[in-house]
Structure formats: C-alpha cells, structure tokens
Amino acid sequence: MKRTGKTGGLAAGAWLIAFAACMAMVALPGDTVFAQASVAEGKSATKPAPITIPDAPKPSSAIAWLVIDDATGKVLAGENIHMRLPPASLTKVMTSYVVAAELQAGRIKSSDRVRMSENAWRSGGAATDGSYSGFEVNKTADFTDMVKGMVVQSGNDAAIAMAEHVAGSEEAFATLMNDYAKRLGLQNTRFVNSHGLPAEGHYSTAYDLAMLGRALIHDYPQEYSYNKIREFTVGPITQRNRNLLLWRDESVDGIKTGHHSGAGYCMMASAKRGDQRLITVVMRTGGEEERAVDSLALLNWGFRFYETHRLYQADSVIATHKIWKGRGDVVKLGLDAPLLASTPRGRYTELKPLMDVPKTLVAPVQAGQKIGVVRVMLDGKLVSEAQLVALESVSEAGFFKRLWHEFLMWWDSV
C-alpha cells in the first residue's frame, strides 16, 4: 500500500530552497516528512500571461523530423517520427555506441591497433561512392584515430574496420548492433551493416535515432565528444566534419550527418545552452544546406519556447521517512542523479511535485535502495520522474525494539 505526498506549485526559484535547503518541515501522511518552502504572508506576484507557443518550423522537404528534450526524452514537435526510413550514415551513431559499450566492458581496449582490411578498404574506401577515411589498406592504425575517422570523416571504411575489430565480421557486428538497439528500446530499428550504405532491411526512425543519440550522450560522453571535432587528418588528407552547424552555432556539439541516394540528406543535431539540451533529427531532406538550416531552426524554436530546470540535486535530502525496527527512526531519501524537467517557457512555477512512498518501511535498509518515486506534474500530466532512494543505511534494531515495533505496527493496522 502506498500513500502520496503532494505539494502545490512553488514560487519561481523555490524548488531548491524548498526541497534541498529544507527551510521548514511539514509532516505528511505515511510518516513521511517533506521540505516545504515558507511563503511570505501578504505578498503576491502578478502572474504573466502564458506564452503562446507557435508551431515548430516545419522542415521544407524532410519526410520525417522531430525535436526532443534531452532531459526527459519528451518530443516537443515532430512529424512521421515512427516512419521506417534508411538512416544512411546516422547508422554510425549506433556503431559508435557499440564500440564504446564493448570498450567499457573490457572486450576491446583503447590501446588496440585496428587493421584496415582489404574488405573494409574495398567496401568503404576511396574507390566507392561514399565517405572514406583514408587509412592505408592492410595496415593498422591507432584505435582512437580509427574511431575519429569514422565519426568526424564519416568514413565507411573505418566503420567496417571497427566492426571487424570488435566482432570479427560486419555481419557479426550487425548482430551486436541489433542487440544493443533492443536493449535501448529502439522498436522500429534494424541494422544490416555498420556504415549505413543501402541494404535491404536496414532501417530506423526519427524517434529511434533521437533516442539513440540521447543514449550515446548520456552513456558514453567521451565517445560523443568526438562528434564536435571539426576536421581530422589521416596521412596527407584532411577532411572536414559534414555537420555545418559546428561552424554556425557554438552551442552545437554534435552529432551526425548522412546521405545516399535512397535516404536523401539526413541529420541528427544536438545543442546545449545552459542546463538545457535539445536533439533534432531530419530525414530525407533535399540537400546539405537544407538539412543544416532546418535543424538549426528547430533547435532555436525549442530553446525559445521551452526551458529546462534542475529541480533536485543528486544526494540532497528531499524527504525523510519513518522506519520501523531500525536502529534509527527515520531514513533520509533523495535521488542518485539530478532531476530535470522541461516545460513551456514561463510555466515553471506551475509544476507540482508528487512523491509516492510506501506507507510502512521496515529495517534493514541499504544506502541506494529504491524507496519510492518522485513525479513532477503539469496540468495533470507527467513531466518528469525519478526513483527515490535511501541516502543512508539503517540497520536492524535489537530484539526488544523490534518486538515493541512489531506490536505498534499491529496496533496501527487494526
């Protein structure tokens, strides 16, 4: 059985004061205590009229497109977001993700030398009609350099070489790609190769690609950072990153472009301004300039009409809960990561925090143990949520206290 503690909308800037600084304490049902901001009596603020949010600037020719809030994964605007389309070189974002995951798992090492095989050179090198890195055939290169050749130069040959290094063959690597896609919940995505050149049964969606980009940003920030490198040199050849926004907006730090005749011009872009990050995807646009212009327009629209706020800090006490049969009588609750929420600009003060916690909590409790859920609502709809965790361990009490609490718990239930 659960009880819900609920507080109303808070004055601007009062979230951290209310829940982290703990200015005043109010006991709520379920023996849970939440910090509550004190409001000066006799004072009122004139509430400005809500901003009318215009429709997002629809890309001129893209078949599918969207803009999402990175903090929550919420789609702010989009069209045909679940339509299956060829992703072209946006595929390499998944290749980057798999390489990073396998590196973290210790199955490959950053000190490895990666061989540019003849297969990789012939299938994705300079003799093909796609992007290539320029690493010499049948020679090895530094692991990180090969990754950058794939990410910055969008080298198809580098993508194949990395796939072969990780899994032995590109076919085996595609199996890994689809396994990771399943783990990430990408329901309308299937990969056949590591580079994105045309292949039957190779597809994704604007929504899935945005979620993939979001996962790379959060799970492997070092690997993601390679996407903002403007140019990379292999031997005598220096190639520029095809993401034109890296030169046009300093808040843009990724992520990937793609193109082939069947996919048209595609782009996944991400920018961070303050605590707020947005991700856009446009698929099958008409040209390189068009995809850049459309992506920047969507980013500017999102930043103009939506805002992200840090509601709770990690590891700060936002509630205390009574605990039975423990050496202590209460346990401190908080979050293991900051909780952010994005709202239409100007409506931050209307957010309503709601916390669900068990009615009865019995020791022992371990630090980090999940205790309940924090939900943030706006107009009765969920904006953001996170698990409440114990910030400290509470061990079991001695025999007589446990016996006494057993009686009190029974008495309380009758």
Assess whether 89 carries a catalytic annotation.
yes
Determine phi and psi for 380, rounding to 5 degrees: 75, 5
What pLDDT score was predicted for residue 311?
A: 86
Higher pLDDT, 44 or 393: 393
User: What percent of the chain lies above the pLDDT cut of 90?
Assistant: 61
Burial of 75 from C-beta contacts in 10 A (0-12 / 13-18 / 19+): middle
Cis-peptide into 255, omega within 30 deg: yes
Tell which wins on pLDDT, 39 or 12.
12
Binning pLDDT at 50, 70 and 90, where does residue 20 land? Answer: very low
What are the C-alpha distances in Å from 215 to residues 257, 314, 356? 17, 20, 27
pLDDT tens-place string over residues 269-310: 999 998 899 999 999 999 999 999 999 999 999 999 999 888
Lowest pLDDT segment from 80-89, 271-280, 404-413: 404-413
H-run or E-run covering 280: strand 276-285
Q: Which are the contacts of 403, defined by CB distance < 8 A and separation ≥ 6?
A: none
Does the active-site annotation cover 154?
Answer: yes
> What is the pLDDT averaged over residues 76-89?
98
Q: pLDDT tens for residues 162-197? A: 999 999 999 999 999 999 999 999 999 999 999 999
Question: In the chain, where are the structural domains located?
Answer: 2-37+310-413, 64-285
> Which residues does residue 354 pair with via DSSP β-bridges, in sequence order?
6, 375
HEC string for 312-379: ECCCCCCEEEECECECCCEEEEECCCCEEEEEECCCHHHCEEEEEEECCCECCECCCCEEEEEEEEEC
CA dist 363 and 25 (Å) reads: 23
pLDDT score at 5: 41
Residue 392: count of CB within 10 angstroms of its CB: 15
Is pLDDT at 49 greater than 70 in this prediction? Answer: no
Assess whether the region 2-37+310-413 and the region 64-285 belong to the same CATH fold.
Answer: no
pLDDT the model gives residue 12 = 36
> 229 or 372: which carries more pLDDT confidence?
229
* Of 96, 123, 154, 204, catalytic: 154
pLDDT in tens, 346-360: 888 899 988 888 888
pLDDT recorded at residue 48: 61
Residue 6 has pLDDT above 80, yes or no: no
Cβ neighbours of residue 147 closer than 8 Å, sequence gap 6 or more: 96, 99, 158, 162, 223, 226
Please, which pLDDT band fits residue 245 given cuts at 50, 70 and 90? very high
Whether 4 has a pLDDT exceeding 50, the answer reads no
Mean per-residue pLDDT for 384-412? Answer: 87
Burial 243-259 (b: 16+ CB within 10 A, else e): bbbbeebebbbbbbbbb
Looking at domain 64-285, its CATH class is alpha beta
* pTM for the predicted model, two decimal places: 0.80
Please indicate whether residue 295 is annotated as part of the active site: no
Residue identified by tokens 């990666």 is 114
Question: Is CATH 3.40.50.150 the right assignment for the domain spanning 2-37+310-413?
Answer: no
